[in-house]
Chains A and B, each alone.
Chain A
Amino acid sequence: MQKDDERLVHNRGEEFLQVFKKGAEFTQDLLKENERLRYRMLELEKCQLGGEAAPVEVKKLTERIADLEAEKQEILDRIRHVEEENQDFAARYLEIEDENNNLANLYIASYQLHSTLDFREVLQIITEIIINLIGAEEFAIMLLDEKSDELQAVATEGVERSEIPSVRLGKGVIGEVASSGESHFAADFDAYEREFDTPMVCIPLKIKEHVIGVLVIYKLLMQKKEFAPVDYELFTLLAGHAATAIFSSRLYSDSERKLSTIQGFIDLLTK
Chain B
Amino acid sequence: MGDTGQMSDYNVLIVEDSPTMRQLIAFALKRIRGVRIVEANDGVDGLKKLSSERFDLILTDINMPIMDGLKLVSLVRNDANYKSIPIVVITTEGAQEDRERALALGANDYITKPIQPTKILDVARTLLRIP
Q: Which A residues have a C-beta under 8 Å from some C-beta of B? A: 97-98, 101, 104-105, 108-109, 111-112, 125, 128-129, 131-135, 137, 221-224
Do A132 and B118 touch (CB < 8 A)?
no
Do A223 and B112 touch (CB < 8 A)?
yes
Do A108 and B117 touch (CB < 8 A)?
no
A259 to B117: give the CA distance in the assembly, Å: 43
Do B114 and A108 touch (CB < 8 A)?
no
Task: Select from chain B the residue with minimum beta-carbon distance to A220.
Answer: B114
A135 to B90: give the CA distance in the assembly, Å: 13
Which of B114, B115, B116, B118 has the most chain A CB within a 10 Å cutoff?
B114
**Pairs A–B under 8 Å by Cβ, sample size 13:** A101-B116, A101-B118, A104-B28, A108-B20, A108-B24, A112-B20, A128-B20, A132-B24, A133-B114, A133-B115, A135-B113, A135-B114, A221-B114
Q: Which B residues have a C-beta under 8 Å from some C-beta of A? A: 18-21, 23-24, 27-28, 92, 94-95, 112-118
A111 to B1: give the CA distance in the assembly, Å: 14
Choice from A108, A128, A134, A222 contacting B94 with Cβ under 8 Å = A222
Q: Using Cβ atoms and an 8 Å threshold, which residues of chain B touch A125? A: 20
Choice from B95, B112, B117 contacting A101 with Cβ under 8 Å = B117
Asked if A132 meets B20 with Cβ closer than 8 Å, knowing A101-B117, A221-B112, the reply is: yes
Choice from B27, B112, B118 contacting A108 with Cβ under 8 Å = B27
Do A112 and B23 touch (CB < 8 A)?
yes
Q: Using Cβ atoms and an 8 Å threshold, which residues of chain A touch B27? A: 104, 108
Asked if A105 meets B115 with Cβ closer than 8 Å, knowing A128-B21, A132-B21, the reply is: yes
Task: Select from chain B the residue with minimum beta-carbon distance to A234.
Answer: B114
Since A101-B116, A112-B20, A132-B115 are in contact, a sample of 4 more A-B pairs with Cβ atoms closer than 8 Å, ordered by chain A residue number, is A108-B23, A108-B24, A133-B114, A133-B115
Task: Select from chain B the residue with minimum beta-carbon distance to A98.
Answer: B118
Task: Select from chain A the residue with minimum beta-carbon distance to B114.
Answer: A135
Asked if A221 meets B94 with Cβ closer than 8 Å, knowing A108-B23, A108-B27, the reply is: yes
Q: Using Cβ atoms and an 8 Å threshold, which residues of chain B touch A223? A: 94, 112
Do B23 and A222 touch (CB < 8 A)?
no
Query: In angstroms, how far is the closest chain A Cβ from the Cβ of B1?
Result: 11
Q: Using Cβ atoms and an 8 Å threshold, which residues of chain B touch A97? A: 118
